Amino acid sequence: MDKNEAHGIADVDVLMATFNGENFVREQIQSIVGQTFSNWRLLVSDDGSSDKTIEIVNSEIAKDARISWANHKSSHLGSYHNFLNLLRSSSASYSMFCDQDDVWNPDKIEVSLRKIQELENAFPSDPIMVFTDLEVVDENLYTIFPSFDKMGGIDPDCTSIEELLYRPVAPGCTIIINKQLRELVTSLLNEGGVEYHDWWVSLVASGLGHIGYVPVATIKYRQHNKNQVGAAKPSVVKSVVSTTVSSAKVDVLKSMLRARECYQSFGGLLAEEDRRSLQAYLSIPKTHGIGRLFLLKRAGIWKKGFVRKLGQALVTLTMSFPDEYDNAPA
């Protein structure tokens, strides 16, 4: 059976954001061209490259009609807005994010489609996101670590909105979403409280839909000196630093910004339990003393690990919040 027939009439938009990617972008595009699933369209959006990226992409467009520009005249909007613009240009049944410098395994689309369609059968018409593991490689594609999740100590089952407020689990380059989730994401406003497109998509999917995971590396995730967000193996030093008072305060403040963004953007659409969790968490700054700990427990928004949870509780109990955080939801 043809691989496309196995997935019905599925069509996929692969959304690639580029910026000064001349060293690797051709190899990435060629890895998409070589997919076992062929009913895809590659949309590329450039964020103002000054190297040969646009020239290279144009040469690949000339070879394959499935490749085209979505918009290559943006004005240094940054990764988040570049990817969101791509999502708005997407019209396929499914959309996948794509970085310019990785290499996709030949069956990446096929593996992702199989899982998301399995979930769609269980939850018809619901917003759905699926992500996978990835293989961390160096500039020359030699393996650094075979599993990004194991290297980073990531638990891919931690996908509740409460868990995701502190730590994302899904790298954007592994994500596939259905059109229902795409329409939601592009209709909701994120005013900057959530820093990255993949984190925002994950939070929306968690709060209003479903998230699935495939424990298989589908990408060679290339690490080099121009990565915007790279991979780093946790160290003892990093663990100690992450529990210091100053960094813990920053973590609490940032998590509250994400919680507030989610609550303001789609809080009214959340299940009652999730909405009450966000309300409790956002009420902490205007509460004093031991009451903060009761709210934190009620919210259930915790860091992973006993030491980090203890540090989070102590900091939350004692820290002073800026005035702008003293505006809890009703």
- Model confidence pLDDT, tens digit, residues 190-203: 999 999 999 999 99
User: Distance between CA 111 and CA 217 in Å, rounded?
Assistant: 10
C-beta of residue 15 within 8 angstroms of C-beta of residue 97? yes
The helix (run of H) or strand (run of E) holding residue 81 is: helix 79-89
Residue 3 pLDDT level (bands cut at 50, 70, 90): low
Over range 265-271, report the average pLDDT. Answer: 97
Q: Give the distance between the most distant pair of CA atoms in the chain.
A: 65
Over range 19-44, report the average pLDDT. Answer: 97
What residues form DSSP beta bridges with 319? none
Residue 227 pLDDT level (bands cut at 50, 70, 90): low
> What is the model's pLDDT at position 1?
37
> What is the model's pLDDT at position 42?
98
User: Distance between CA 165 and CA 254 in Å, rounded?
Assistant: 9
Domains and CATH numbers, the chain: 5-222 (3.90.550.10), 236-325 (no CATH)
> What is the model's pLDDT at position 114?
97
C-beta of residue 212 within 8 angstroms of C-beta of residue 120? no
Over range 110-118, report the average pLDDT. Answer: 98
Which residue type, as a one-letter code, is found at position 163? E
- Model confidence pLDDT, tens digit, residues 142-188: 999 999 999 999 999 999 999 999 999 999 999 999 999 999 999 99
Handedness of CA 171, 172, 174, 176 (dihedral sign): positive
pTM, two decimals, is 0.91
| Residue % of the chain over a pLDDT of 90 | 81
Nearest of 16, 91, 27 to residue 49 by alpha carbon? 16
Q: What is the mean pLDDT of the chain?
A: 90
Residue 4 pLDDT level (bands cut at 50, 70, 90): low
Which residue type, as a one-letter code, is found at position 214? V
> What is the model's pLDDT at position 2?
47
User: Distance between CA 61 and CA 42 in Å, rounded?
Assistant: 9
Apex CA 150: angle with CA 304 and CA 194, to 5°?
Answer: 50
> What is the model's pLDDT at position 241?
44
Q: Coil, helix or strand for 95? A: strand
Instruction: State the burial class of residue 298 (Cβ atoms within 10 Å of its Cβ: 0-12, 13-18, 19+).
Output: middle
